[in-house]
Amino acid sequence: MGTGLKVAVFGAYGHTGRFVVAQLRDRGFVPVLSGRDADKLKLLAESESESGLDARPASVDDPASLDRALAGAAAVINCAGPFAATAAPVIEAALRAGIPYVDVAAEIEANVDTFAHFSDRARAAGAVIVPAMAFYGGLGDLLATAAMGDDWTAADEAHIAYGLNSWHPTAGTREAGAVSHQRRGGRRIRYTNGQLEHHTDELPTLEWPFPDPMGPRAVIGEFTMADVVTVPSHLPIPEVRTYMAVEAARDLSAPDTPAPTAVDERGRSAQTFLVDVVVRNGGAERRAVARGQDIYAITAPLAVEAVHRILTGQTRAVGVASAGEIFDAPDFLRALSSYMSTEYMSTEYMSTELSH
């Protein structure tokens, strides 16, 4: 449990930030509310659910304000996108404060920047920085790492298929997507032959054999997510491919798809997910599957469990590290059993080709 330790949440009033704040309180931490909009912070701090919490406005353009926001905190969770703008300044503040940094960035480029710009400094300082500790990036990496087991040190390919029954994006998701699109110059991105590459190829529609209860479903191939940064950051896998259910991709691309709407006491939407991770090596195939509800809500226990483990010394690395590298992946996933289910399978496979 958090035993009263303070954890700063930058972007606390955002959709995901509110889930993180609630999860921190449930785990016994004391959230420190921070973000760029002082009025929204004040409203959150005065709300019935978060009354009594300290609100500290801060701007990424004002390092002193970030230092004040992090003062006395044991760690910081950055929930404020676009992370292309917020990650580096908040990481710098965390390094100055000497505290761990965790973010929930799904932006591929922002995560690449974090590894490129801070790995050496963080390692030299003995600091812990965990990017993409979220549904995209963190969860897929934990599942892939757990599927590898202790006996596979490398694999030929990893496939991460997202079976979302819908995707009502938040305003933050749309804004982050626009920033990534601009940074790529309208091109797409994939991870192949051991490296990220830009391309302009049309994305294929394939049929992915999701396990029950979802079953086979059409997906968009090379619908590339943050897993192409987190997984190969520590696992020697030259081909990492991600896929998205057609229905979810259609929701995301439609400009009039509404934001998520709460349907239960936790504030979760009706969205369900099935993440199917397949790792192949030689003629063997290993699979890890996670099922749950609401991709934004599940990000909160992922991020808060990460903070808990960092602060209690349950880590395997220092510096910039993805979830699968720094944590015991199977044990971490077991700790989330009240939020989602996980299962593993191991088989031989006949072909690497999916059906068109």
**Residue 59: which CATH number?**
3.40.50.720
- Return the structure tokens found at 156: 């030929």
The count of structural domains within the chain is 2
- Same domain? For 127 and 24 the reply is yes
Cβ neighbours for 46, distance < 8 A, ≥ 6 positions apart:
none
- Same domain? For 49 and 119 the reply is yes
Listed residue (246, 261, 277) closest to 137, CA to CA:
277
Q: Return the residue matching tokens 């749309």.
A: 174
Residue 356 counted as domain residue: no
**Which structural domain range is residue 310 located in?**
6-132+299-326
- Same domain? For 125 and 39 the reply is yes
Residue 331 counted as domain residue: no
Give the CATH number of the domain where residue 252 resides.
Answer: 3.30.360
Residue 354 counted as domain residue: no
Residue 353 counted as domain residue: no
- Same domain? For 270 and 322 the reply is no
- Same domain? For 256 and 305 the reply is no
From first to last of its 356 residues, what are the pLDDT tens digits of the chain?
667 999 999 999 999 999 999 999 999 999 999 999 999 999 999 986 777 899 999 999 999 999 999 999 999 999 999 999 999 999 999 999 999 999 999 999 999 999 999 999 999 999 999 999 999 999 999 999 999 999 999 999 999 999 999 999 999 999 999 999 999 999 999 999 999 999 999 999 999 999 988 999 999 999 999 999 999 999 999 999 999 999 999 999 999 999 999 999 999 999 999 999 999 999 899 999 999 999 999 999 999 999 999 999 999 999 999 999 999 999 999 999 999 999 998 876 544 444 33
- Same domain? For 203 and 317 the reply is no
- Same domain? For 64 and 94 the reply is yes
- Same domain? For 122 and 151 the reply is no
Backbone torsion region of residue 27, taken as left when φ is above 0, otherwise alpha when ψ lies between -120 and 50, otherwise beta: alpha
Peptide bond into 255 cis (omega under 30): no
Residue 214 counted as domain residue: yes
Backbone torsion region of residue 63, taken as left when φ is above 0, otherwise alpha when ψ lies between -120 and 50, otherwise beta: alpha
Peptide bond into 213 cis (omega under 30): yes
- Same domain? For 279 and 305 the reply is no
- Cα separation, 167 vs 331, whole angstroms: 29
Residue 278 counted as domain residue: yes
Residue 54 counted as domain residue: yes
Residue 203 counted as domain residue: yes
Backbone torsion region of residue 3, taken as left when φ is above 0, otherwise alpha when ψ lies between -120 and 50, otherwise beta: left
Angle (nearest 5°) at CA 105 between 6 and 224: 155
pTM, rounded to two decimals: 0.96
Listed residue (216, 229, 210) closest to 83, CA to CA:
229
- Same domain? For 205 and 276 the reply is yes
- Same domain? For 45 and 90 the reply is yes
Listed residue (49, 45, 46, 65) closest to 57, CA to CA:
65
Count Cβ atoms within 10 A of the Cβ of residue 296 and give its class: 0-12 exposed, 13-18 middle, 19 or more buried. buried
Please answer whether residues 105 and 82 qualify as being in contact, where contact means their C-beta atoms are separated by less than 8 angstroms.
Answer: no
Which of helix, strand or coil describes residue 32?
Answer: strand
- Same domain? For 239 and 114 the reply is no
